[in-house]
């Protein structure tokens, strides 16, 4: 690593985008991941779709309980 870097020709905000979406990785326990892989294969849908569906159901239950 250099002691100093020259940013005099740098362009502020060159890679900034207001519409950029950030996708956070989610790490599952191996047994849960195996279960989801099997279920995903059986149903022919992506793991992400199954997890999102379950989360939406949980959110609706929490909202109903308030």
For the whole prediction, is pTM greater than 0.75?
A: no
Tell me the average pLDDT of the chain.
94
Task: Give the mean pLDDT of 39-66.
Answer: 96
Judge whether residue 56 has pLDDT over 90: yes
Residues 56 and 48: their CA atoms lie apart, in Å, by 12
DSSP 8-state symbol, 31:
H
How do the domains of the chain map onto residue ranges? 30-65
What confidence category does residue 48 fall into, taking pLDDT thresholds of 50, 70 and 90? very high
3-state secondary structure 21-34: CCCCCCCCCHHHHH
Residues 47 and 55: their CA atoms lie apart, in Å, by 12
């Amino acid at each position: 690593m250099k002691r100093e870097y020259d940013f005099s020709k740098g362009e502020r905000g060159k890679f900034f985008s207001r519409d950029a979406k950030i996708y956070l990785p989610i790490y599952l326990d191996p047994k849960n991941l195996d279960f989801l892989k099997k279920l995903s294969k059986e149903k022919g849908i992506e793991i992400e779709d199954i997890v999102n569906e379950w989360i939406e159901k949980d959110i609706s239950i929490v909202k109903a309980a308030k």
